[in-house]
Amino acid sequence: MIYCVEDERNIRELLVYTLETTGFHAKGLTDGNELWEALKKEIPELILLDIMLPGEDGYRILEKLKSASATRDVPVIMVTAKEAEYDKVRGLEGGADDYITKPFGMMEFVARVKAVLRRCGQKSSEDKMLGCGEISVFVKKHEVRCRGIKVELTRKEFELLQYLLENKGIVLTRNQILCRIWGYDFDGETRTVDVHVRTLRQKLGEEGNLIETVRGVGYRIGG
């Protein structure tokens, strides 16, 4: 998934169209507010970020993306106006991976996107990262960070969090969780799940609230 944050409708639609016809999934967003909403649901592989936007501008958005652990490693390509040479420097210093100057050709645009994904893919394939809000889980390293700070979890708590994040936005029943984490399915033991959810929430602090109890059903993260 690639997010295209651009307030000019024609450009936004063209970007999304071009990416989709090249085989990517892309979503057009008009401003920072829409981006923050979209990020709650899905962390994309790449963000294209226009600089001149209503509300928060591209620099401010970039700064926020780079300071949140869930989005810090998402590559960003800044989209700049032609004459603004200074923009590029500021964007790259702010942590952007590349920039594209308007107006640009679609071939060049796709080539830039692919190049950045290739470069950053090498980094990200080292360890799959799952996240929600300020929670980041590095699966291979078995590491959990909350607002950038490492959180120590037991093996079961880690697996539980991983399972919830892999199914972000979806309600998992206690039985599903039992089957997956403990390897059995027995109604009488569903309390085990509740106990682990409780300790997991405590360890995650404020972000623990992201794990929602769905009454009579089970649990969900990022709903």
Distances (CA, A) of 58 to 31, 53, 62, 87, 200: 9, 7, 6, 10, 35
Q: How far is the CB of 6 from Ca ion (least distance, A)?
A: 6
Strand blocks (E) in 63-209: 76-80, 98-101, 129-132, 135-138, 143-146, 149-151, 172-173
Instruction: Kindly tell me which residue out of 50, 97, 134, 157 binds Ca ion, with binding defined by CB under 5 A.
Output: 50
Question: In this chain, which stretch among 52-60, 89-97, 141-149, 203-211 interacts with Ca ion, using CB under 5 A?
Answer: 52-60
Which range binds Ca ion by CB under 5 A, 48-56, 58-66, 175-183, 206-214? Answer: 48-56
Stretch of 27-35, 42-50, 104-112, 127-135 lying at the interface with Ca ion (CB under 5 A): 42-50
Structure tokens at 28: 């057009």
Q: Does 57 bind Ca ion (CB under 5 A)?
A: no
**Integer CA distances (angstroms), 114 to 96, 100, 156, in order:** 15, 13, 38
Q: Which of residues 1-40 bind Ca ion (CB under 5 A)?
A: 7
Which parts of this chain interact with Ca ion (CB under 5 A)? 7, 50, 52
